[in-house]
């Protein structure tokens, strides 16, 4: 079966989905309301940083399987499956903003020229699939058949291509046999590599996405609380995490302590699920606690720095890593933002460096100083703080750093990249998260 697909919303998820399906041999047309974005994508320019994506887009553009247009009508008419990948950012009350996805559904309905599968890849609260079915039915001109599929996306920014091409699972939620067969045919290359498929109803598929993100965030907040306890007890959270993770029922992933999670998904999905549950008369106590612990963790980091240095007033601090995680330029809900904001409030100056995210960060914090490498950021600073664990921070020339930092060489490693004993031997005042280091020694 030759399937043509359309992608509406060419952001991280939309572009990765489009490029990867094109790589699977499918004809893909992507559209977005941002005309400038579509214009630059046509010439192979990727508006954000994601490893391997540019080469994949350029290759498939050249081979004619991937197209970009600003004309939604063309996308609808030429596609059998239309993926909705627009953003679902939170509104003031934490609930998901569904205006874009509903607008898109209405617009699609107006151009439908035959049977279509409307596949929702955006993360949407339970019930939105049904709501879009109604929105489309009401906006259709005449009678046109269509099916709704919930096909949530689980890719991680920074390894999005690998995650899309080799996912842990594909979730398909639908009540239509026909749509199910079309979706399975589309994902055939993943069937061939024995990817597990979870085929279920629309509501269950929608909830799987939220439940997964909330559970992963729970693991992070849990280990952060254990790290804080380790700091009090003099225990080592890395060994605790290892000891826990070796239990097959727990697993080793997402047990890395740090400054708390951020990004475009976890925080907003936690709030959206909380909101959805509240509207349905259910209190999600764990989800609530996960949010609280995460927010407190940022302040714990700021306090750790302030307590160690005595005061931050008038101090100059070098911050390495601004993106919410390595290998992306995405700064949405980045811990670095909250930590820098806290440090600035205490009266410090910030010199920042990030391999990819400085352009984005300048749009939210234009008044701090930015540098083109870690060493120029550290020059004459009173302290260095690693907030995001980019690979290039794992092997810093520590002697050079010491030569650039002011005494007594405050080094805050919020990602536990370095070994405390080695850092002490190099005479750094080294602080990390949940492992015995200076905080403990000074007590």
Where does this chain bind ligand NAD (CB under 6 A)?
A: 8-14, 32-34, 37, 85-88, 100, 103-104, 122-123, 153, 155, 157, 264-265
Report in angstroms how near the CB of residue 272 gets to ligand NAD at its nearest. 9
Q: How far is the CB of 155 from ligand NAD (least distance, A)?
A: 5
We find the least distance from the C-beta atom of residue 389 to ligand NAD, in angstroms, to be 18
To ligand NAD, the closest distance from the beta carbon of 44 in angstroms equals 17
Quote the least distance from Cβ 181 to ligand NAD, whole Å: 25
SS (H, E, C) the chain: CCCEEEEECCCHHHHHHHHHHHHCCCEEEEECCCHHHHHHHHCCCCCCCCCCHHHHHHHHHHCCCEEEECCHHHHHHHCCEEEECCCCCECCCCCECCHHHHHHHHHHHHHCCCCEEEEECCCCCCCHHHHHHHHHHHHCCCCCCEEEEECCCCCCCCCHHHHHHCCCCEEEECCCHHHHHHHHHHCHHHHHCCCCEEEECHHHHHHHHHHHHHHHHHHHHHHHHHHHHHHHHCCCHHHHHHHHHCCCCCCCCCCCCCCCCCCCCHHHHHHHHHHHHHHCCCCCHHHHHHHHHHHHHHHHHHHHHHHHHCCCCCCEEEEECCCCCCCCCCCCCCHHHHHHHHHHHCCCEEEEECCCCHHHHHHHCCCCEECCCHHHHHCCCCEEEECCCCHHHCCCCHHHHHHHCCCCCEEEECCCCCCHHHHHHCCCEEECCCCCCHHHHCC
412 Cβ partners below 8 Å, 6+ apart?
Answer: 301, 304, 305, 308, 383, 384, 385, 386, 431, 432
CB of 342 to ligand NAD, least distance (A): 26
Whole-number Å distance between alpha carbons of 112 and 107: 9
Nearer to ligand NAD, 14 or 434 (CB): 14
* 153 or 438: CB nearest ligand NAD: 153
Q: How far apart are CA 74 and CA 32, in angstroms?
A: 12
State the residue number with the nearest CB to ligand NAD.
11
Nearer to ligand NAD, 85 or 327 (CB): 85
> Which of these is catalytic: 230, 265, 432, 437?
265
Nearer residue to ligand NAD within complex by CB, 14 or 342:
14
Cα atoms in the Cβ-side hemisphere of radius 13 Å centred on 429:
17
Question: Nearer Cβ to ligand NAD, position 47 or 278?
Answer: 47
Nearer to ligand NAD, 12 or 430 (CB): 12
Cβ of 162: how many Cβ atoms within 10 Å?
14
CB of 119 to ligand NAD, least distance (A): 12
Q: How far is the CB of 29 from ligand NAD (least distance, A)?
A: 13
Nearer to ligand NAD, 108 or 396 (CB): 108
Active site residue 20: no
Q: How far apart are CA 308 and CA 410, in angstroms?
A: 8
Query: Which residues are designated catalytic?
Result: 265
């Amino acid at each position: 079966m030759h399937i043509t697909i359309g992608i509406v919303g060419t952001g991280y998820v939309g572009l990765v989905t489009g490029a990867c399906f094109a790589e699977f041999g499918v004809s893909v047309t992507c559209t977005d309301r941002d005309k400038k974005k579509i214009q630059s994508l046509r010439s192979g320019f990727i508006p954000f940083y994601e490893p391997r994506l540019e080469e994949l887009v350029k290759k498939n553009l050249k081979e004619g399987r991937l197209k970009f247009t600003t004309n939604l009508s063309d996308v609808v008419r030429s596609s059998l499956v239309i993926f909705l990948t627009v953003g679902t950012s939170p509104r003031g009350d934490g609930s998901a903003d569904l205006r874009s996805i509903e607008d898109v559904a209405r617009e699609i309905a107006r151009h439908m020229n035959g049977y279509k599968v409307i596949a929702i890849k955006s993360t949407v609260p339970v019930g939105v699939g049904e709501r879009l079915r109604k929105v489309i039915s009401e906006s259709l001109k005449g009678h046109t058949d269509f099916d709704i599929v919930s096909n949530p996306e689980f890719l991680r920014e920074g390894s999005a291509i690998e995650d899309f091409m080799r996912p842990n699972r594909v979730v398909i939620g639908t009540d239509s046999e026909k749509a199910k067969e079309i979706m399975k045919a589309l994902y055939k290359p993943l069937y061939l590599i024995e990817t597990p498929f979870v085929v279920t109803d629309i509501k269950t598929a929608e909830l799987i996405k939220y439940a997964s993100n909330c559970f992963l965030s729970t693991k992070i907040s849990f280990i952060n609380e254990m790290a804080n306890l380790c700091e009090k007890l003099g225990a080592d959270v890395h060994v605790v995490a290892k000891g826990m993770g070796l239990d097959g029922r727990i697993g080793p992933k997402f047990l890395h302590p740090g400054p708390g999670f951020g990004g475009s998904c976890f925080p907003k999905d936690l709030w959206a699920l909380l909101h959805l549950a509240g509207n349905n008369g259910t209190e999600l106590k764990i989800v609530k606690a996960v949010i609280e612990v995460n927010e407190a963790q940022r302040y714990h980091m700021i306090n750790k720095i302030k307590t160690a240095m005595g005061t931050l007033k008038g101090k100059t601090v070098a911050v390495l890593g601004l993106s919410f995680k390595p290998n992306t330029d995405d700064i949405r809900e980045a811990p670095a933002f909250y930590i820098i904001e806290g440090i600035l409030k205490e009266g410090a100056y910030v010199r920042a460096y990030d391999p990819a995210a400085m352009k984005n960060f300048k749009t939210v914090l234009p008044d701090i100083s930015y540098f083109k490498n870690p060493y120029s950021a550290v020059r004459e600073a009173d302290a260095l703080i690693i907030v995001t664990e980019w690979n290039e921070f794992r092997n810093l020339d520590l002697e050079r750093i010491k030569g650039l930092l002011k005494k007594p060489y405050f080094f805050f490693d919020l990602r536990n990249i370095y070994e405390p004993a080695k850092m002490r031997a190099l005479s750094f005042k080294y602080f990390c998260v949940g492992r015995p280091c200076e905080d403990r020694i000074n007590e």
